[in-house]
Amino acid sequence: MHELPPIGAIIDSEVLLNRLKYQGRKYTYRVDRLKLPNGKIGDYEYIQHPGAGIAIPITADAKFVLVKQYRFAISRYILEFPAGTLEPNEDPADTIKRELEEETGFRGHTWQKLGSFFLCPGYSDEVIHAYLAQDLEKLTHPPAADEDEEIEVVLCDRHELEQLINSGDIGTSLDAKSITGFYLALKYLDNL
């Protein structure tokens, strides 16, 4: 058995045949015949995604700002931290500052980059860029939310969020990017 390359090493698969490509409004769906680094050949489906930003906003009184919104792919309302897809050539920090204002009506004045991570690398190349937003200002005239969004702002303290995450109930839990962002933010929030 040979040694695998180091974690994080970029090793492209060889595209032998582009079988199908569908360009949607935001994402590209592909089915390609690939030769993997180990020499195996097969047909693989995947989604090309422009990336996204997520904000972990927290108020001066230690309340996390989340949004409750409908997600059609799972046919339910869930709680999430504000997030949005990157526009072409947009800096992730600009994306999430805009999304925070549109989705919650808050503006963050202090930002901390928490890191970036793959969301679901088994079928997508999407990278999420996470930021902590503090020194929040409630806007008197927030920008309008996207036309297809129906959003309710929800404030939760750390204990309430941890209860939701640890409940194990898919109907009341947060999505994976929100859970990841929450735990990345905790190291910057000493007194919670």
What residues does each domain of the chain span? 14-48, 52-186
* pLDDT for 9: 87
Contact 67/103 with Cβ under 8 angstroms?
Answer: yes
* pLDDT for 168: 76
Which superfamily does CATH assign the domain made up of 52-186 to? Nucleoside Triphosphate Pyrophosphohydrolase (3.90.79.10)
Bridge partners, residue 69, by sequence: 78, 151
Question: What is the gyration radius of the CA atoms in the chain, in angstroms?
Answer: 19
Q: Which residues are catalytic?
A: 147
Amino acid at 144: A
* Torsion, Cα of 36, 38, 43, 45 (10° steps): -60
Taking the chain (192 residues) in consecutive chunks of 10 residues, what is each chunk's mean pLDDT?
82 90 92 93 95 97 94 89 95 96 96 96 96 95 72 94 86 86 92 66
pTM beyond 0.85, yes or no: yes
